[in-house]
């Protein structure tokens, strides 16, 4: 695999670091580490809080940070870029075209997967992604809207608080798991959309628990774009553009 994946991370840093780990766990062929993909991680935790800035209409500083970090990756000759923050996807239309064409949209990865598997899926995301309607802004939304359940305001605030506790490594994953089980029962859904990259940390924790206790919680109920990209990396790196038919299982 000659192409290089760029990861614009640090939002938060634990999630993007875990994404790198996940990629390597799924992409080392045989016994040779030399077969593993090349990855450039630009982890910049100093990027301002996306939800806080965007909901206040403060786009300029955040956009400058994203463009600078993305250009640094582009200068390293990366083929594709994953921005490890859903809320930042609000600013994708404002990125320079030469950067934008390299972006693998996490929103579109989620919506394509919903389109492929149908069913009912509960969206887990920050208040920024929720209030800015970032998923609803995708061209793929109209094809998938009937399959996506948006939580009520009270549950959304609880989801947001859980995400921010995960971000700073203060959330008990066991209590988060109980909370998510309650949400799945309440909304009668087949899966949970990981509409924030912090959910990837929870997904990986549950995955590790399943190896010890098969009855713990089925990690496959997460529709996790970082896991999808990691397990289909060669295909994502090989695509010239993203659409509903090109990236499938």
The pLDDT value recorded for residue 31 is 73
The β-bridge partners of 43 are 9
* Half-sphere exposure for 158 (CA within 13 Å, toward CB): 12
pLDDT in tens, 38-85: 999 999 999 999 999 999 999 999 999 999 999 999 999 999 999 999
Mean pLDDT for all residues in the chain: 91
The pLDDT value recorded for residue 244 is 37
Exposure b/e, 218-238, CB count within 10 A at least 16 = b? ebebbbbbbbbbbbebeebbe
5-105+228-237 with 108-224: one CATH topology? yes
- Taking alpha carbons only, the member of 209, 195, 199 closest to residue 179 is 199
Q: Is CATH 3.40.50.1860 the classification given to domain 108-224?
A: yes
Q: Say yes or no to pLDDT of 9 above 90.
A: yes
The separation between the first and the last C-alpha atoms of the chain, rounded to the nearest angstrom, is: 19
- Second-level CATH architecture of 5-105+228-237: 3-Layer(aba) Sandwich (3.40)
The β-bridge partners of 4 are 38
pLDDT in tens, 14-40: 999 999 999 999 998 777 888 899 999
Strands 121-124 and 80-83: unpaired
Q: What is the pTM of this model?
A: 0.92
Q: 82 or 178, which is more confident? A: 82
pLDDT in tens, 132-177: 999 999 999 999 999 999 999 999 999 999 999 998 888 788 899 8
The pLDDT value recorded for residue 248 is 36
Q: Say yes or no to pLDDT of 245 above 50.
A: no
Domain coordinates of the chain in residue numbers? 5-105+228-237, 108-224
């Amino acid at each position: 695999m000659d192409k290089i994946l760029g990861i614009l991370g640090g939002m938060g840093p634990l999630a993007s670091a875990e994404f790198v780990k996940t990629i390597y766990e799924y992409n080392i062929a045989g016994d040779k580490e030399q077969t593993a993909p090349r990855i450039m991680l630009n982890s910049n935790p100093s990027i301002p809080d996306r939800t806080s800035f965007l909901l206040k209409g403060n786009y300029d500083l955040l956009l400058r940070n994203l463009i600078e970090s993305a250009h640094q990756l582009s200068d390293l000759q990366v083929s594709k870029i994953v921005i490890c923050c859903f809320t930042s996807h609000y600013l994708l239309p404002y990125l320079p075209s030469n950067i934008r064409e390299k972006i693998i949209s996490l929103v579109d990865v989620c919506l394509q997967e919903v389109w492929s598997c149908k069913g009912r899926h509960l969206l887990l995301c920050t208040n920024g992604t929720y209030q800015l309607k970032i998923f609803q802004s995708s061209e793929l939304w109209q094809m998938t809207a009937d399959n996506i359940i948006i939580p009520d305001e009270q549950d959304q605030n609880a989801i947001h608080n859980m995400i921010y506790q995960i971000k700073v490594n203060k959330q008990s994953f066991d209590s988060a798991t109980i909370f998510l089980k309650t949400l799945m029962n309440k909304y009668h859904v087949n899966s949970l959309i990981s509409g924030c990259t912090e959910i990837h940390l929870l997904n990986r924790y549950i995955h590790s628990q399943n190896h010890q206790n098969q009855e713990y919680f089925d990690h496959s109920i997460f529709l996790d774009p970082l896991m999808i990209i990691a397990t289909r990396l060669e295909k994502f790196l090989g695509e010239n553009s993203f659409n509903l038919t090109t990236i499938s299982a």
